[in-house]
Amino acid sequence: MASLTLALDIMGGDNGPPVTLAGAKKALLAYPSLNLVLCGDEAQITPIVSQWPKSFASRYRIEHCTEQVSMDDRPTFALRNKRDSSMHRMLNLVKHEKADACVSAGNTGALMAIAYYVLKTLPGVDRPALISSLPTASHHKVYLLDLGANVNCDSEILFQYAMMGSVLAEQVSGIDKPRVALLNVGLEQIKGNDQVKQTAQILSNTPGINFIGYVEGHDIFTDKADVVVTDGFAGNIALKSCEGFAKLVLHEAKRLSNQNILTKIMAKVALPLLRKIYLRMNPDQYNGASLIGLRGIVVKSHGNANSDAFLYAIKEAIQEVSRQVPTKIKDKIETVLMERP
């Protein structure tokens, strides 16, 4: 891997420096060519990094920031009043090409607002989208977007999401001609709201996008599509419902296993299998939703991510840098727009 530099929002997330710095340390161990800019409160960062191997000293630097964006800050307040926050500094480093990409576990709304203001969108993109990969029954990935960046999307926005999702699936996962589908309440052409129907019509007449039609919610994990497109309202609910269900299954299995001697015996066989299933579905393994459509690479980690989950988000950023995802999205949009009727 060629040398690259990532900027990290060390103060972001529910747990802050102890977790984000632990993830950063793991990334430095895993990627010898990686350099990091640690954005945050120097007084909190220094005691932790001073315990790191001395060989790391030349591979990171601290960008002291006097402010941090809290999880409760309103996006507009964070944008206007916290210009010296670790989140804002991280994004400015990407803007001025002092970092190749950035990662934050902080406030999603604030990250969206500040990134939009600092980095701006690519030509032909009206709004960025949050996209992440999820597991499927065939052990392939499916990309779902939008996950909450924009709760109201018209057909043109959904069309742009389909283009961007197709590029990400192709470039990061190496999928040839990714199958793109729209999330809908049914498979029939007459089903769905006006936005979904209009988007389907646009995609059906657009060369360069492998549009396969509609999928329903239960199809997300069946490998029917490589990219599933929806608005941020439905996408966020779908994602969090799936995460909650995975936790519920494991919790109920543990509860039932303690009811009597028979269930305890059965649990010794079943629980290890259920744990394996849960670990494959574990959101930590798919942590790192990309804010695509911007003139720079921004990866959003779960707010309650542990160090391993934060490491996965860093890995996602590294992959996108190596594949030059924003450039590929820009090229795709230019090509598709030129060919549109």
**What is the CATH classification number for the domain harbouring 86?**
3.40.718.10
Helix (H) or strand (E) holding 294: none
Query: Is the bond leading into 308 cis (omega within 30 degrees of zero)?
Result: no
pLDDT digits (tens, 9 = 90+) for 54-66: 999 999 999 999 9
Stretch (H or E) spanning 50: none
In a domain, 47, yes or no: yes
β-pair type (289-292, 297-300): antiparallel
| Cβ atoms of residues 235 and 150 within 8 Å | no
How far out from the chain centre does Cα 48 lie?
A: 27
Which residues of the chain carry a pLDDT beneath 50? none
What pLDDT was estimated at residue 243? Answer: 74
276: left (phi over 0), alpha (psi -120 to 50) or beta: alpha
What whole-number distance in Å separates Cα of residue 215 and Cα of residue 282?
23
Note whether residue 138 is domain-resident. Answer: no
Spatial separation of the C-alpha atoms in residues 147 and 286, rounded to whole Å: 13
Angle in degrees, CA 326, 226, 289, rounded to 5: 50
Longest Cα separation, the chain: 68
Q: What is the CA radius of gyration of the chain?
A: 21
The Cα 197–Cα 209 span in angstroms is 17
Task: Please report the pLDDT score of residue 279 as a whole number.
Answer: 55
Is residue 35 within 8 Å of 5, Cβ to Cβ? yes
Residue 46 domain flag: yes
Q: Residue 92 is which amino acid? A: N
Q: What is the pLDDT of residue 341?
A: 61
Query: 243: exposed, middle or buried (C-beta count within 10 Å: 0-12, 13-18, 19+)?
Result: middle
SS3 of 174, please?
A: coil
Please, what sign has the CA dihedral across residues 230, 232, 234, 238?
positive
Residue 66 belongs to what domain range? 1-125+293-323
Q: Assess if residue 301 is contained within a domain.
A: yes
Q: Which of 305, 310, 287, 282 is nearest to 25 (CA)?
A: 310
In a domain, 221, yes or no: no
- Residue 192: the pLDDT is 83
What is the Cα–Cα distance from 94 to 115, expressed in whole angstroms?
Answer: 10
pLDDT digits (tens, 9 = 90+) for 170-211: 988 889 999 999 999 988 888 888 999 999 999 999 888 999
Q: Which residue has the tokens 């990532």?
A: 6
* DSSP conformational letter for 41: -
Sort 231 into a burial class: Cβ within 10 Å, 0-12 / 13-18 / 19+: buried
Q: How far is 287 from 305, CA to CA, in rounded Å? A: 8
- Residue 187's pLDDT is what? 84
Give the model's pLDDT for residue 244.
79
What pLDDT is recorded for position 200? 95
In a domain, 254, yes or no: no
From the list 96, 128, 124, the residue with the least C-alpha distance to 115 is 128
Q: Tell me, what's the pLDDT at 256?
A: 66
Number of domains in the chain: 1
181 lies in some domain: no
Q: Are 130 and 146 in contact (CB under 8 A)?
A: yes
Q: What 3-state class would DSSP assign to 191?
A: coil
Q: Is residue 52 part of a domain?
A: yes
